[in-house]
Chains A and B, each alone.
Chain A
Amino acid sequence: MAASRSTPDSVTRRSGRSWRSLWRRGPWAGLATLLLVLALDRVALAPDGPLWQRWERPARDWSPATRGIVADRKTLRELREIGPAAETAVVLGNSRAAASLRSRLAEQAEPTRTYRMIAHARIGLFEMLSAAERIEPLDIDLGILALSEFDLFRAERPRPESGHCRWGAMGASARWLGPRVVFRHRRHFLQLAAACSLESYSTRLALHRAGLDAWREFDGSLVARTTEASVETPPPPTSFFPRAARSTEQKQEQRQEALQARRRLFAEASAAFPELPADGIRFQVRHALRLYRGAHVAYNRRLIERTIDTFLEGGNRVLLVEPPLHSTVRRALDPALRQEFLRYAESLAEQDGVDLLRLEESGPFDDSSFADLTHLHNQRGAIQMTEAIVERIRRMPRSADAQPP
């Protein structure tokens, strides 16, 4: 056997079949597979597809990075079921919105309206635009966008495996970024394209957790020991835009300053929230101090504006909400960034159908409203924020009045 095996030319089929007809010779099985895979992806893995619904339950509980996929798809399904009969408000935002707004409480305060959330940790502006594109045809009444300087000044690339990726958002992004940036980040854009095309690709992280883990992951105890995260080592930047060129000395200086700022905020936050785990505080500190001015701000602005336009073009009203921050983080942030964000938010609110709710100054919040540095995740803060939003919605003009002429 070894003699026949070692022949390097043994690349031809040895099945002994003759391939006389085109039917026999053609790659028809491959073609059929391709069609079957696409059909399964479109039909079975759509938010209301049978395969997805089977996987949804075990996929529900996981880290913030993937929890959104399952919850958001469920929300989209519910919105489709609710239909245009009811007045519906959809909240788009990150974990600050998710933790702070109580939809059931809002519905009790305003029984004629249904509240749904597409809000979770790590959602970015690109994902919010993609979600808006999915929501827009569903005849909702009001889009609530929770935005702050964290969204405007953070430079992050969209995540292909977030469950939210639409060709419209990707095409617009490619146009705004220009061919050079798209070419430089071609690998990322190809992943985004795959996520736009295949449900299985854009939701694969959640699907992994739906009973497939046993196939592919090992207990991470040893890995955890060797890759310990700390406040000293921020994650590598994943922006479309490189930071402005700096000399080595400048880089060193800025790195030192950033490290000092992270250490200072970490110490203050640890004192303010002694009951919180250090890892959680480290994450928030790193997250909070990654705001800066640069070319990414213009891109972020376009994403925000396009999201608002998407809602307005669908005849929906938009409420921009600026969630409050704990005073410890507020002191650590550059006040000029906040001023710039507020000016921008006010300019957006000048459009018909768009309203702005600035909760930090006008809201009834103090440090006791916070569960941690950024989240109003206790009874008091979340109730206060929900009440403030419902109150503002009541005072907003109705949809018909908001339609542009």
Chain B
Amino acid sequence: MVFNSLEFAAFFCAVFCAYWCLPRRAQNRFLLVASYVFYGAWDWRFLGLIVLSTGVDFLIGRALGTAPDAGRRRLLVTTSLVVNLGILGVFKYADWFSASFAALAGRFGWQVDSFTLGVVLPVGISFYTFQTLSYTIDIYRGELEPSRDLLDFALFVAFFPQLVAGPIERASRLLPQIHGARRFDLESLETGGWLVLWGLVKKVVIADNLSLLVDAVYAQGAEPTATQIALATYAFAIQIYCDFSGYSNIARGVAHMLGFRLMVNFDLPYFARGPSDFWRRWHISLSTWLRDYLYIPLGGNRGGRIATYRNLLLTMLLGGIWHGAAWAFVAWGLLHGAWLAIDRALRATPRAPLPLTRLSTWARMAVTFHLVCLGWVFFRAGGFLHGAGLLAGLFTPWSLADVGPWLPSFFHLILPLALFELVQEATGDHFVVFRLPFVLRVVVYTGLCAAVVLLGQDFGQPFIYFQF
């Protein structure tokens, strides 16, 4: 049941109506059941994993709250790490590690049979595992009180708007909202509705249509020219942004209508002025998670230059591997780690500051965007060699004629988005649409509804980040 399906629309309408008719405690229980139904619609067998993760972390959290000494607390948090990362390792990485080990052994002339489990990756496992991990780590650090109610905690783990692809919420933000009372609010209805509508436009109109071009060029066995690779890479940059931020918008909108406030996951990332700025704007819930639970514990920037660069590389490497079990993601993570390190090195070098003209700001945005696009080549290619082959293909002769028929569609799709985001960036207001007069707002909403129905690809196309 994906957000861009009629099935979800029917499900949410039913949940919304029933939810607001119930008293608060019953609301939480009802949302928990709805969340399990939502997840079970994919594959009910994997509900067991969520229940296991919920049960283990709830018990460990409770035990951490009463554990008297540091040794026992360390043992408890280690148990939580082992269980959660163990589940993630078995379901996500076991086959990759095994195949990679067998391939490596083969290089040295040893014949090793690769052992594969052949299990399907449970949807959303990377997201909810990180969410539950943050809970136990926060309690271990003394930054959070353990939850006393198992069912409320279960709702924190399984809350359906953000269960399958985030945002990866922190317990310190979401649990108080679950414990507290929620009020039906007409303003939230419009705010949530706008977020859902804009998310749908990004997903079904922009991302899904651009995927036609991207899939054709990036298909194994296709022989695209340099210009086609370049255009498809730009298209993928927009596609993945619209796909994931569209999902996040819908998640926030749906949660908003239910009285919850989820964190902003994307903040106009292609207007970033550098790699660090990019990661402050892209998948914010993951980047802040990696910062708080990996980069800072590794030492952050407190151990000198070399240690900082190492920490950046390691953090981004693990961020890459979090996305998927493939060497292409390793390459993608390392590239971003390297850019962050170079960016930091450049900023640390004493030199005359560049004048902050509008031109230099745009130049920095353009450079950052192209560096990010370079990473997307590996990300989309799925295999390191395929990605490297496509990059090599960029150094063959360029001809605009190769992409001539595609350009009108490409610009038709991205120009409205670019213009709207430019206004958002210039005003610093994500909800700039609410500044419009009533009639103009109705016109904008109607236009977007028509775009979803008439220009959208088939409803129900999966989101890219579901595979992670």
Contacts and interface: CB of A to CB of B under 8 A. Distances in A.
Interface of A: 1-2, 4-6, 8-11, 13-15, 17, 19, 22, 25-30, 32-33, 36-37, 40, 186-187, 190-191, 193-194, 198, 200-201, 204, 207-208, 212, 214-220, 222-223, 225-226
Contacts of A10: 264, 430
A190 B6 contact: yes
B409 A15 contact: no
A204 B457 CA distance: 10
Nearest to A26: B186
B216 A226 contact: yes
Nearest to B188: A27
Given A19-B187, A226-B219, A218 B264 contact: no
B445 interface: yes
Given A11-B264, A214-B408, A218-B406, A22 B186 contact: yes
A29 B454 contact: no
Interface stretch (B82-90, B116-124, B279-287): B279-287
B430 to A, nearest CB: 7
Contacts of A28: 438
Interface stretch (B29-37, B95-103, B189-197, B298-306): B189-197
Given A8-B285, A29-B445, A198 B261 contact: no
Contact of B281 (A5, A11, A19): A5
Contacts of A193: 6
Contact of B431 (A2, A15, A29, A30): A15
A8 B281 CA distance: 10
Contacts of B7: 186-187, 190
A13 B428 CA distance: 11
Tell me which of B267, B435, B454, B455 has the highest count of chain A C-beta atoms within 10 A of its own C-beta: B454
B342 interface: no
A160 B332 CA distance: 41
Given A11-B262, A13-B434, A4 B216 contact: no
Interface string B125-136: 000000000000
Contacts of B256: 11
Contacts, number: 149
Given A6-B284, A11-B261, A33-B449, 20 more contacts: A5-B281, A8-B285, A8-B288, A11-B256, A15-B434, A25-B187, A27-B187, A29-B445, A30-B194, A36-B442, A190-B6, A191-B459, A204-B453, A216-B457, A218-B213, A218-B409, A218-B410, A222-B216, A225-B222, A226-B222
A207 B173 CA distance: 45
Contacts of A17: 434-435
Nearest to B209: A216
Given A25-B186, A212-B454, A215-B412, A33 B442 contact: yes
Contacts of A200: 450, 453-454
Contacts of B454: 200, 204, 207-208, 212
Nearest to A207: B454
A223 B267 contact: no
A216 B453 contact: no
Contact of B446 (A33, A186, A194, A204): A33
Contacts of A32: 438, 442
B134 to A, nearest CB: 13
B281 A219 contact: no
B343 interface: no
A198 B453 contact: yes
22 contacts: A4-B428, A5-B281, A6-B267, A6-B284, A8-B285, A11-B256, A17-B435, A19-B187, A29-B190, A30-B189, A36-B442, A40-B446, A186-B7, A190-B6, A191-B459, A194-B6, A214-B412, A215-B409, A216-B413, A217-B212, A218-B409, A226-B222
Interface string B212-231: 11011101011010001000
B446 A37 contact: yes
Contact of B429 (A14, A36, A220): A14
A225 B222 CA distance: 8
A219 B405 contact: yes
Contacts of A223: 212, 215-216
Contacts of B145: none
A14 B428 contact: yes
Interface residues of B, number: 65
Given A8-B263, A13-B431, A191-B6, A37 B450 contact: yes
A200 B450 CA distance: 8
A19 B187 CA distance: 8
Nearest to A5: B267
A98 to B, nearest CB: 26
Contacts of B205: 216
B431 A14 contact: yes
Given A215-B412, A218-B212, A13 B191 contact: yes
A7 to B, nearest CB: 8
Contacts of A194: 6
B460 interface: yes
A222 B221 CA distance: 10
A405 B377 CA distance: 74
Contacts of A40: 446, 450
A222 B6 contact: no
Contacts of B27: none
Contacts of B409: 214-218
A190 B10 contact: yes
B455 to A, nearest CB: 5
Nearest to B460: A187
A200 B281 CA distance: 37
Contacts of A226: 216, 219, 221-222
Contacts of A33: 442, 445-446, 449
B25 interface: no
Given A187-B7, A222-B224, A9 B413 contact: no
Given A29-B441, A223-B216, A15 B449 contact: no
A66 to B, nearest CB: 13
A32 B438 CA distance: 10
B390 to A, nearest CB: 14
A25 B186 CA distance: 6
